[in-house]
């Protein structure tokens, strides 16, 4: 890939080889043009512009020129508009890439600091929102019993419709024949247990997905984070 050659205080340069490649020209022809313009005193020669170049894969070294933007554009001024445009586009592309050695502007530094502060504040809000869930988990974690959907919603002090929306949206549970069933990855992770039962009044057989203590522990934190993200979206829509 073609790159500008950094030259310290002298600025960036493009080589005669790069010019030839971009313009699909013979390098010797480009060199002839450069040397003619040097002879005419048109090109600036404030620094050494000629050096040896070892071709990729070995071979005989050739001499190439390093030209700054001004001299480069003068060299291609006699080329067709299409070729001149290629060189200009390449310079614009390369100059658009920030120099890692250049320190950021004061405004950019302020923006970076503000972005970092926003991340810190968002994390603090997430932790604050998760605090009730963490407190609940600490009280519940010693239990070994299974909990159903409504029991967990009550323990989390969550509205059932909102808790159900979370479970479906985040692909924790899915609807199966009028029942809620856990996705395989959550079942394999030990967050749920499926219990078979029979309705007393109708005798209808059913499967009930119930949260294990491990599942309650996990879903408490995930539900808190989901609520924080949802509120952030809602506040953004109203802004």
Per-residue pLDDT of 104-126, as tens digits, reads 556 666 676 677 666 666 666 66
How far apart are the C-alpha atoms of 137 and 224, rounded to whole Å?
12
160 and 90 co-located in one domain:
no
pLDDT digits (tens, 9 = 90+) for 47-87: 456 676 655 555 566 778 888 888 889 988 888 888 888 88
Out of 55, 73, 95, pick the residue that ends a domain.
Answer: 95
Q: Does a structural domain hold residue 100? A: no
Single out the residue of 101, 97, 11, 19 nearest to residue 53, CA to CA. Answer: 19
Mean pLDDT of 162-185: 88
Out of 71, 95, 119, pick the residue that ends a domain.
Answer: 95
88 and 203 co-located in one domain:
no
89 and 112 co-located in one domain:
no
The residue with greater pLDDT, 178 or 81, is 81
Single out the residue of 193, 185, 228 nearest to residue 214, CA to CA. Answer: 193
Q: Give the pLDDT score at 91.
A: 85
The pLDDT of residue 162 is above 50: yes
User: Structural domain of residue 48, as residue ranges?
Assistant: 5-95
Q: Give the pLDDT score at 167.
A: 93
Number of structural domains in the chain: 2
The pLDDT of residue 17 is above 60: yes
152 and 209 co-located in one domain:
yes
The pLDDT of residue 4 is above 70: no
Single out the residue of 61, 41, 43 nearest to residue 52, CA to CA. Answer: 61
The pLDDT of residue 2 is above 50: no
Q: Does a structural domain hold residue 160? A: yes
Q: Does a structural domain hold residue 101? A: no
77 and 149 co-located in one domain:
no
118 and 217 co-located in one domain:
yes
126 and 191 co-located in one domain:
yes
Mean pLDDT of the chain: 76
Share of the chain above pLDDT 90, in %: 7
110 and 86 co-located in one domain:
no
pLDDT digits (tens, 9 = 90+) for 119-152: 666 666 665 655 555 555 445 444 457 888 888 8
Out of 28, 61, 95, pick the residue that ends a domain.
Answer: 95
pLDDT band at 194; cut points 50, 70, 90: confident
pTM, 2 dp: 0.40
How far apart are the C-alpha atoms of 117 and 44, rounded to whole Å?
48
27 and 128 co-located in one domain:
no
How far apart are the C-alpha atoms of 29 and 16, rounded to whole Å?
10
């Amino acid at each position: 890939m073609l790159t500008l050659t950094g030259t310290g205080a002298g600025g960036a340069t493009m080589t005669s080889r790069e010019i030839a490649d971009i313009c699909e020209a013979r390098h010797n022809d480009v060199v002839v043009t450069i040397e003619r313009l040097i002879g005419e005193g048109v090109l600036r020669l404030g620094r050494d512009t000629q050096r040896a170049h070892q071709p990729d894969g070995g071979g005989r070294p050739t001499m190439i020129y390093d030209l700054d933007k001004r001299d480069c554009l003068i060299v291609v001024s006699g080329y067709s508009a299409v070729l001149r445009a290629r060189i200009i586009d390449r310079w614009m592309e390369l100059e658009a890439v920030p120099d890692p050695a250049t320190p950021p502007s004061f405004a950019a530094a302020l923006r970076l600091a503000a972005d970092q502060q926003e991340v810190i504040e968002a994390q603090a809000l997430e932790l604050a929102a998760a605090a009730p869930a963490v407190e609940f988990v600490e009280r519940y974690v010693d239990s070994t019993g299974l909990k159903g959907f409504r029991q967990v919603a009550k323990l989390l002090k969550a509205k059932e419709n909102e808790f159900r929306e979370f479970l479906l949206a985040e692909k924790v549970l899915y609807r199966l024949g009028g029942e809620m069933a856990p996705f395989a990855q959550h079942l394999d992770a030990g967050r749920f247990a499926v219990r078979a039962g029979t309705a007393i009044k109708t005798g209808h057989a059913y499967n009930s997905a119930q949260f294990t203590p491990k599942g309650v522990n996990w879903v408490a934190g995930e539900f808190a984070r989901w609520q924080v993200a949802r509120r952030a979206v809602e506040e953004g829509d109203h802004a």
